[in-house]
Amino acid sequence: MLLTITTTRQPAGDLGYLLHKHPEKFQSFELSFGKARVYYPEVGNDRCTACLLLDVDAVGMVRGKNADQNFLLAQYVNDRPYVASSFMSVAIAQIFGSALQGRCKERPELVTTPMPIEARIDVLSVRGGENVLRGMFEPLGYEVEAVHHPLDERFPEWGESHYFSVTVRKTTTLSELLTHLYVLIPVFDSRKHYFVGEDETEKLLAKGEGWLARHPQKEEIVRRYLRFQPSLYRMALSRLVVEEELVEEDDQTPEKEQAEEKLESPLSLNEQRLMAVMASLRSCGAKRVLDLGCGEGKLIRELLKDRQFEDIVGMDVSVRSLENAMRRLRPERLPERQASRVKLIHGSLMYRDKRLEGFDAASIVEVIEHLDPPRLSAFERVVFEFAKPRTVVLTTPNKEYNVTWETLPAGKFRHADHRFEWTRREFQDWANGIGERFGYSVRFLPVGPENPELGSPTQMGIFQLDGEATR
């Protein structure tokens, strides 16, 4: 099976940087199910084409297994080696992993640059025919060209097979194209997936973020992707509650973080914020707490020191932050009973998530300003309607205060990744609206030194579920 990717954005050779594969080399990779090869049949300034050729060892995969079962011919003679399937997705993730995740060290600007791209898949097995094929790709803005292959050229009367050579075209980023292929190729695969496992739902939701919830075929995509796993299917669908645009992975670079810390450091605002949040969590009597958008785990470290908090779960969308948090927390140095109080999970606040239900309190510290405003309503439902902790402690910058920082140019946000910063009025209106809609009462507290006109640098809202008195 063959995946061919072509771009005509000049200089087209940039494709080599994006794929992290040198255009002049022919490279081979051993995968657990066979061999993959990457090569460029065409490298020019106007057009560049890369191929990912997958040699699935269908026989090798079954050899030694099922030894005492009947000989099953179909295990040996099948279309596995020729039809793009979940193996292709695994190969994309393993061989074009950086490109899939949208990382490019040498030319980072390319990652976000939309370019005319064409991907050809030889071949896809599509039961239901061309309409099914178009129904999957066209809503995502792809132009689709499909060549239907006959069962056997020598016997036209046998009719068509269900195999298609498929070309999709779109001006988009390479990362988006690969993400769509990663999710959609297995959707056409009629066999049990090579990679369906426990964390498949997470993978699907992570890769589907920003587009799957709005796809008219989302149910079909989820059903087929998680085929043979009805429980996973239902779980995934129930989490795709949100129709709005969904947030993209919000990976923060350490440099950006440092810029914000530097700006705020004369006040040691960070510490004051942590202390204020800790105080609120303590006083509401919470035992089971969530830290949503936990970043590198600064708050979690504080929570761990206090035995009141028996169960601490940190969640973040950024795997890199979670890895750093793990390094900082070093749970291995703790006695097992202590270490077992804390868990870090990967997830997005844009999706309903069963793992977030049943907690006494949640902290959401300096997170909302990283979400795109049209996506805030998704976040609101995920936290206040579905996870529904008794108490929510939420902080965000107070924009009015920014003018006191001489080093911050007027009109600029404190952090390059902030999508907005709110005045006290704006924050309070938003928070009170949530209170009304979801049945919480809200109190507001300043954090950091207060200026009589401008308020404090950080604003904090404490949401208390109505009818649930604070202990």
User: Which stretches of the chain bind ligand SAH, using CB under 6 A?
Assistant: 247, 250, 252, 293-295, 298, 316-318, 321, 348-350, 365-367, 370-371
By beta-carbon proximity to ligand SAH, the closer residue of 127 and 305 is 305
Smallest distance, ligand SAH to C-beta of residue 471, A: 25
| Structure tokens given for 154 | 């020598």
- Decide: helix, strand or coil at residue 1: coil
Please report how close the Cβ of residue 338 comes to ligand SAH at its closest, in angstroms: 22
Cβ-contact 54, 2 below 8 angstroms: yes
95 vs 460, beta carbon nearer ligand SAH: 460
- Characterize 385-400 residue by residue with b for buried, 16 or more Cβ atoms within 10 angstroms of its Cβ, and e for exposed: ebbbbbbbbbbbbbbb
Which single residue brings its beta carbon nearest to ligand SAH? 295
User: Between residues 181 and 367, which has the closer beta carbon with respect to ligand SAH?
Assistant: 367
Alpha-carbon distance of 402 to 98, in angstroms, equals: 37
What is the nearest approach in angstroms of ligand SAH to the Cβ of residue 142? 26
The dihedrals phi and psi of 49, each to the nearest 5 degrees, come to: -130, 130
What is the Rg, in whole angstroms, of the alpha carbon atoms belonging to the chain? 26
Could you tell me the smallest distance in angstroms from the CB atom of residue 355 to ligand SAH? 12
- CA-nearest of 114, 118, 99, 113 to 7 is 118
Q: Is the dihedral of CA 326, 330, 332, 335 positive or negative?
A: negative
Residue type, 132: V
The answer to whether 180 and 140 are in contact (CB under 8 A) is yes
- Please, which residue, 295 or 397, has the CB nearer to ligand SAH? 295
The distance of closest approach from Cβ of residue 267 to ligand SAH in the complex, given in angstroms and rounded to an integer, is 15
Nearer to ligand SAH, 52 or 204 (CB): 204
Which of 165, 272 has the CB closer to ligand SAH? 272
d(CA 5, CA 7): 7
CB of 104 to ligand SAH, least distance (A): 20
To the nearest whole angstrom, how small is the minimum distance from the Cβ of residue 187 to ligand SAH? 25
Contacts of 199 (CB under 8 A, 6+ apart): none
Least distance CB 53 / ligand SAH (angstroms): 36
63 or 354: CB nearest ligand SAH: 354
Nearest Cα neighbor of 239 from 382, 119, 32 is 382
Complex with ligand SAH: residue 232 or 382, whichever CB lies closer: 382
Tell me the closest approach of the beta carbon of residue 257 to ligand SAH, in angstroms: 7
* Residue ranges with strand state E in 151-277: 160-172
**Do 244 and 382 contact (CB within 8 A), yes or no?**
no
Kindly report whether the peptide bond that precedes residue 123 is cis, defined as omega within 30 degrees of 0.
yes
CB closer to ligand SAH, 21 vs 399:
399
Give the CB-side neighbour count of residue 32, counting CA atoms within 13 A. 6
What is d(CA 54, CA 38) in angstroms, rounded to the nearest whole number?
9
